[in-house]
Structure 1
C-alpha cells in the first residue's frame, strides 16, 4: 500500500512537472513570436532556441528550427547567414512542410555568393510556386551577380576611418566644400539606453565629423545634442544645398500599440549657428505606416522618401512631395511601378544632375539591397534604370549612397563581407589617362605634312586646336581628352582638302593612347565621280548619281574655301551641237541639285564638254581594257552591242575638278574663278 501511494505521488509530481514544462514552453513560444513580430530578432532567436531544447513534438521542433533560421537571416551578418543556411537545411531534412523554405535558403546562399546552389533552390521553389516572380528574379540576379563580379566597374572603395563595431550608415554632406558629414550610428555612446532587438546594438543617433585638410583625416565623430537626438532612433540625415534645412528619420520605441516601430520624418532649421528644435514634417501619418529616408533636392523644392503607406506597389516604395510655399508641401506622389516593385525601394538620393539613386531588393541585382541609378529626360520621363554593379554593389545590402556634385566620388553604406555590420565606405572613380595622337601625311607622296591644323571639338563643349610638329605629329594630352566624350576632328593644311574624323572615349575602361593617323589629299586636281551617269539622251539624275553628288557635297562642306568645276560629257551618237547642249544641261542639273542642298552657287561651275573628251578606262571591264580611250574609232570595232553600250555609258558622265581653294564667303573678299 505504501509503495502504491509512493508511486501515485511520483506520477502526480511528474505529471505536474510535465504540465508546468509545457506551460512554460508555451509562454516562451508566445514571447518569441511577439519578439519576432516586433523585429527583435536577437531576442526571438534566443527564445526559439530555448523553446526548441524543451520541445518534444517532432513537427514543432522542425518549426522551431525554421524560425531560428528566419531570425538569423533577418539579422543578416555573415556569421548569421551561415547559421541560417545550416538551420534551413536541417529543417528541410526534418521535412519542414512549407515551400517558402526553399526561397529563403536560396536567398541566403545568394548573399554568400553561392550562386549555383542558390539557383537550384530557386528552381525547387518554382516547382511549388511557379507564379511567384521572386524565383525568376532571384535566378536572374544570381546570373547577373556572377557576371558583375567578373566584370567589375572601375570604382574603388575604402572604409570610412571612423566606422565603429556597431552600425554606421547613411552619411550626407553638410557643407558645400564636402569637408563635413552627418551620419547614422548605433555606437555605444548613443543617447538611448535600450538595445535594438533587430540589430542587438544601441538605438541609432545622428553624428557629425569634419575633415582636417592639414592632418588629412576626419575628426572623431560627435553626436548631436538633444533635442535632435533622443532616446528613440534618429537616422538618415539630409540637408538642402544651402545647409540651413535639416531632415531626418525618427523611429519610435517598440510598444504593444505598435508591434513594429513606425518611423516619421522631422526637419529643423538653422538659426545662427544652431539648429532649432525639430518638428514633424506634414505627411499622412497613421499608426501603421512608416515614413523614412528623406532626400531633399538641391533647390529644396522636392523631398523624396520611402514609405509603406497605402497606394504603393508592394513593400516600401519611393514617394516625393513638392514644396508649395514655406513649410507647406503637396500630397505624396508615388514614383510609379517602373521604379517601385513588389519588393522594397529605400534610401533615395537625388543627384544635382537630376538623376535618382535608390536601393532595391525588387529589381534584378546582386542580392539583398542593390543601389540603382534612374535617369530622366528633360520632361522628367524615366529613361533608364541602371544597376551600379560591383564593387558599388555586393551580394549583401548596399544603400545610402551620396555624391559630390560633378564628381564620381562620395560615400555609401553596406554590410558586405568584411564589414562590422553596416559600415560606411568612400568610393571614387579614378580618372583615366587618355591621349590622342597621330601623324599627318600626303596621300600621294606619303610625305609628312608639318603645320597642319587639327581642330578638336568635344560633345562636352570643349574645343582645342593644335598644329603638327616638324615630324608631322600631333598630340592631345590627358588633360584635354576626357572620359565619355565624343570628339570631332577637323584636319586642314594649305594645298590640301580638309577631312573630318570622329573619336570617342565612351565605354573606355582603361588608360590608353588613341591613335588617329591622317592622310590628306592635295587640292587642284581632277577627281572623277564614276557614279554620275546618265541614260541615253537624258539629263535626269539617277539615284546612284545623287548619292555620288551627296558625297561631293560633304567634301565641299568640309572644305568651305574650295571651288569646283563640274564637267559633263556625252557619248558620240548625236551631232556636236546637240551633245554640247545636252552636256551643259547635265552639268547644270548637278549644280542645281547641289545648290538646293545648301552649297553656295559661286562655288560651282557647270561646263558642258559634249563628246570632246572620251573616257580613258581606269579599270579593266570585260573587253574594255585598262588605259583604252573610248573614242568612236575604238567603239565601232566592238562586235557585241552589249560592249558598245557599256562604252557609251562610260562616256556619259560628269567629273569635277578643284579649281580654287581660296574662296571667301563675303562680297568684298570674294575671289571669282575663271571658267576657262
Structure 2
C-alpha cells in the first residue's frame, strides 16, 4: 500500500511540475515573440500546442510568428485554425485574409476581409488590394506601441536615449548653465554632449551638471552611445576630434568617428579611437550585442549600397577588432540606414529613409531565420513612426518598453525623446487559501475554461498556493479550483474593459473543507412544504428550531448550506422560482432566530432537478410521494 501511495503521489507531483513547466514555456515564448525572436518563439508555441496547454492562444501566436517569418504557407495553416476558435479576436480575420493573399488565394482572402469588416473591423479597401507586403500589413493592423511623456526634453535637440543600470543616457545640444557656448553653424544650436539622468528622478531639470564626467564630452558633437553590460566601457560617436586635434578629409570636411572610453573612479577617461575609423568617411551610432562580442554601426565607407549603411564588426577576446561587414541589401538600401540597436535576443532595429515608410526616417525591426540570417524588415508603424524623422530606437530587456527620438510636431524642441510601452501580455493569477487557517493551499488543481466551457489550461498551485495563466484581452473566462478534502469552487472572470497598461487580473479563492464525519449529529432532517407554497409549516418550525439550538448552543462553529426543491409538476422556470422562495424562507427563519448569516454559506433553489424518488411525471404518484420532493435539505459544510 505504501508503494502504491508513493507511486500515486509521484504521478501527481509530476503532473503539477509539468503544468507549471508549460506555463513557464508560455512566458518564455511570449518573451521571445515580444523581442522579434520569432523562430525560437514558434518552436515553443509548437510544444505548447502539442501539450494542449492554452492551445488556442499558442495557435494564434504561432500563426503570427510564421507571418512575420515571411512563411505565408504555414501562417495560413494556423490562421485557419485560429479563425475557427470561438470568440477569436476579429483582428485574426484580417490577418488570415492577408496571409491568404500571401499565397495568392485572392478570392478566399476577400471572403475573410468581408467577415472582418462585418465584425466591426475598419479597412482601407484600396490600400488592402494594392498592398503587396502582407507581412507589414499584418504587423501594422493593430497598434502595438503606446507613447508616454519624457520629462527631460529641452527646446534643443535630444535623442539617443539608452537605459543602463537605472540611468538614462542621451545626447543633447542643451547648454543650460554653461558660460562659454560653442554653436554649431549647421543649425545654430550648441554642439551635442552626452547627459545622464536617473530613470526614476522626478526632477526634470537636466543641465550641465548632468553631463558625463571625465574626458568624453568635447567642444564638438558626441553621441549617441552604447555601454557594455559591466558598465565599464562606453562606445560613442564624436566628430573627428581627439587630443585637441580636429581631423578633416581632403575636402576639408570633418566626419564622425567611433571612440571608446573606460570608467575609472566615476569618470570616463582613456579615450581611444577605434581602428577601422577613417578621416575620409564617417562611422557612427555604435550599438553592442548583448554579450559584447559584436559592434554595429552606421557608415558611408566606400563600396556600400549608397548613403549610409549598417555594418557589424567582431570584438575579439583581447579587445581587438575584426573587419567590418556590411549587413547586406535586405537591411541596406541606396538611401540612408542609421542608428542600429540590438536587443537582448540579438534582433536588429534601425532607422531608414530607403525602405517603404510613413515619412522621412522610419524605424524598422528585422526578422531572422533559424540560422540567424536576416530575411525581412518590419516597419514598426504608428505611433513610433510618423511623417517626420523617427530614429534612435531602444528596447529594454522586457521587450515591452523603451525609447526613440522624433522631430514630429508637438515636441519640446527639434528632436525629442519619446518613451513607449507595448501592450503587455495579460494574465490571470491568484492565491488559493484555506478559509479556516488562511494558509496557502498548494497543489490545488486550477482549470481555466473559456465562456463555452472549453478547457484552456490545467495546472496546480505552487507551494505558496499561487497560480498564473496567460489570457486574452476582451474575453470571458471560468476559473475552477479543486483540491482533495475541499469544496470545489468556480468563478467567472472577464478581461473585457481592462486597460492596456494592466498586466494581470487577480482571482483569489478561499476553500472550505469538506466535512466527512459529523459524529455528534446523525442527520439534519429536511422540512417539507405544501403544494405550490413556500410558507414554513408548523412541523417545519420544529426541525428549524432544533437546528437553531444546535448551531447557537451546542456546535458554535458548525456551518451549513440550504438546498430547496419542488415536485415535478409545473414548468421548470416556475419551479426554479418556487424552490428559491422556499430556500429564502428557510434562510430568513434561521437568521431571524439568531443564526449568524456567515454560517450559512449558500441557500439555493434547484426546482425539480433533484427529485428524491421516481415521481418525474412519467408514472402515477400519490400526493404523499410528491410530498417527499417538496423539501428543504440542510448540508453540514463544517463542524470545527
Larger relative contact order (Cα-Cα within 8 Å, sequence gap ≥ 6): 2
**TM-score of the pair, normalised by structure 1:** 0.43
